Structure 1
């Protein structure tokens, strides 16, 4: 078990795996969308690194099946379910209290600009935004809230929510698990010893689109304060 040493640990996916394993991972994934304050949590990198440790995580929590594939599938499925529940809570929150968020003042845990960005993203991509947002940090936190605010059809939202959650969870967790095995078997490289570099790469890949949109989309930012 790990120990909390600094605030940097909160951005380190390995910290959560060592501290709470399976159940903490599920809570983090739920919180990232179910609790809008979870936008700073390491979703993508947490799933990838969890894939690398999939067998250990399942063995220490509910007991290994003896199959790498089944252990990884169990982990990915559980994460997908947590992500689905998180999005449904976010949708409900947007439906009930979302409009008031546009009038809420910024705080340390809440930035109104993220809500605007998610709204623009939703308007641009429509129903597909719920699926696509899964792969974009920050945006995935606020998109379900926006879906609730604009009163997206509940059935359509649920379908897109399920598709997006399973695509996100299975692609990243299985990528982490099997890339680790490939690198170890073919090149003798243990990805567990290079996690900092891997996390940095994932962060860069997933945040570049947001950075580009921030700089090139400023002029298109709308005022939703009257909504």
Structure 2
């Protein structure tokens, strides 16, 4: 059994190291990332790489069956995360360790408050949010039927979009011969929504502060003796 090395975030390294077990390892990683508090796992890059490996004949798995298995792993991870949130989510939210961090919960809660049930679909494409959104839904006691429906839609879209992108782009020599660069681009694109959301939040905060400042100044003037 091989130990995970320093390049374990690299799908090519995992494929070269684990060979035929790569696909099963990928399913386990997707399951864990989608509900068990490990937000730094390479879910997006694995899906993209699986599409490339299947298209190139390196991974001998039917693309439809591969996506079906990845969907099950992603959805099952969501369900487990949701149930953990319902059962013991509140105490976990107060922890502030290296993996389970309070700021992750706070950012995910803000994301959930902004988008509602749609966050289960949109958040699927956002690292960290993808991991914690299901726990937040559980803590908030979101109706199970509602959660399962939106979570299934999110899992299906995530797997289809990212895996098929790799599958169809895998035939492009530039992508196939520069897998590492392509993976980095996918990771960058997946982080982009968080960056945009952060910038929008900062802009809103500045606008709110600018509106409050004149009001505070007027209040002081009213209090001062004339």
Separation (CA, whole Å) in 2 of partners of 1:211 and 1:11: 21
Change (3 A) 1:89 1:5: closer
Deviation at 1:215, TM superposition (A): 5.2
The one-character-per-residue Cα deviations of 1:48-86 (angstroms, maximum 9, x if unpaired) are 011001264652xxxx5xxxxxx1111011000000000
Correspondence for 1:80: 71
Residue 13 of structure 1 corresponds to 11
- Shift in Å at residue 175 of structure 1? 1.1
Deviations along 1:23-50, one digit per CA (max 9) or x if unpaired, are 10100000002211x2000111110011
How high is the TM-score relative to the length of structure 1?
Answer: 0.81
Q: Structure 1, residues 134-185: CA drift from partner, whole Å, max 9, x if none? A: 111110100000000111110011011111111110111111011112x2xx
Task: Give the counterpart of 2:161 among 147, 156, 171.
Answer: 171
Query: Is the counterpart of residue 29 in structure 1 residue 30 in structure 2?
Result: yes
**Is 79-88 or 163-172 further displaced after alignment?**
163-172
Instruction: In structure 1, list runs of 5 or more residues that go unmatched.
Output: 65-70, 184-188, 221-227
Residue 99 of structure 1 corresponds to 90
Q: Superposed, which structure 2 residues align to 1:105-116 within 5 Å?
A: 106-116=96-106
**What's the TM-score, normalizing by structure 2?**
0.81
* 2: CA distance, partners of 1:171 / 1:208: 16
The unaligned stretches of length 5 or more in structure 2 are: 206-226
In the comparison of the two structures, how many residue pairs are matched?
200
CA contact (8 A) 1:49 1:176 kept: yes
- Residue 132 of structure 1 deviates from its aligned partner by 1.1
Q: Offset at 1:190?
A: 5.2
Q: Pick the structure with greater CA Rg.
A: 2
